[in-house]
Amino acid sequence: MEWTNIFKIFFIGSLLLIGTACSSKEESSEKYINLPKAAFWQENPTESGFMLDQCAGIVYPRRDTLFRSRAIWLSEVIARLTNQRLVVYEEGTETGKCIRLVRQSDLPFEGFQVIVSKDSVTVGAGDGSGVFYGVQLLAQSLTLQDNGHILELPACRIKDYPELHYRGAMLDVSRNFFTSDQIKHFIDMLAVHRLNYFHWHLTDDQGWRIEIKKYPKLTEIGAWRGEGEQKQGGFYTQNEIRDIIHYASLRGITVIPEIDLPGHSSAALAAYPVLGCTEGPYQVAMERGGVHKDVLCLGKDETYQFAKDVLKEVADLFPAPYIHIGGDEVPRTRWEECSKCQQAIVRYGLKDKKNHSAEDMLQGEFNRQMAEYLKTLGKQMIGWDEILSENIDKETVVMSWRGLPRGIQALKAGHPVIFSSNGHFYLNNYQAEDMENEPAGTGGLVEMQTVYEANWDSADLSADEKKRILGAEVCLWTSFVEDDYSLQYMMLPRLAAFAELSWAGSRRTGYTDFLNRLSDMLCFYDRMGWNFAPHYFKLKAEYLPNQKQKELEVRLSSLEGADIYYTLDGTLPSKSSLKYTAPLRLSQSANLMALAYWPNGLVSDTFKVKVEINKATFCPVKLNTSPSERYRGNEGEVLVDGIRSKAFHTNGLWIGYYNEPMDIIINLGAKQNCSKVVVSSLTDMGSYIMGIKNLEIWISADGKNFTKVAERTLPEPPVQMEGKQIDNWELSFPSVEACYIKIMAEGFSALPEWHSGAGETPFLFVDEIGVY
- Active-site residues: which are they? 329
* Helix (H) / strand (E) containing 59: strand 57-60
What gap in Å lies between CA 499 and CA 139, rounded to an integer? Answer: 18
What gap in Å lies between CA 238 and CA 590, rounded to an integer? Answer: 60
Beta strands (DSSP E) in 441-576 are 469-476, 540-546, 551-557, 563-567
The sign of the torsion formed by the CA atoms of 53, 55, 60, 65 equals: positive
- Tell me 638's DSSP state: G
Neighbours of 292 (CB within 10 A): 20
Q: What is the dihedral of CA 611, 612, 614, 616, to 10 degrees?
A: -50
What gap in Å lies between CA 767 and CA 640, rounded to an integer? Answer: 8
What gap in Å lies between CA 141 and CA 737, rounded to an integer? Answer: 73
- Tell me 174's DSSP state: S
For the stretch 700-706, contacts whose Cβ atoms lie closer than 8 Å and that sit 24 or more positions apart, written own/partner, are 700/738, 700/739, 700/740, 700/742, 701/671, 701/737, 701/738, 701/739, 701/740, 702/739, 702/740, 703/665, 703/667, 703/739, 703/740, 706/740, 706/742
3-state secondary structure of 387: helix
In this structure, are residues 724 and 647 in contact, taking their beta carbons and an 8 Å threshold? yes
DSSP strand pairing (469-476 vs 166-172): parallel
Task: Calculate the alpha carbon distances from 492 to 186, 190, 211, 455, 479 in Å.
Answer: 11, 11, 31, 21, 18
**Alpha-helix residue ranges (DSSP H) falling in 32-102:** 65-82
432 alpha-carbon distance from chain centroid? 13
What gap in Å lies between CA 238 and CA 339, rounded to an integer? Answer: 37
List of residues 6+ apart from 463 with CB closer than 8 A: none
Of 374, 361, 375, 370, give the one whose Cα is nearest residue 330: 361
Of 424, 608, 452, give the one whose Cα is nearest residue 516: 452
In this structure, are residues 677 and 770 in contact, taking their beta carbons and an 8 Å threshold? yes
3-state secondary structure of 122: strand
Of 727, 703, 697, give the one whose Cα is nearest residue 714: 727
DSSP3 helix / strand / coil % (the chain, rounded to 5): 30, 30, 45
The sign of the torsion formed by the CA atoms of 173, 179, 185, 188 equals: positive
Please, which residues bridge with residue 46 across strands?
none
3-state secondary structure of 273: helix
In this structure, are residues 763 and 634 in contact, taking their beta carbons and an 8 Å threshold? no
3-state secondary structure of 187: helix
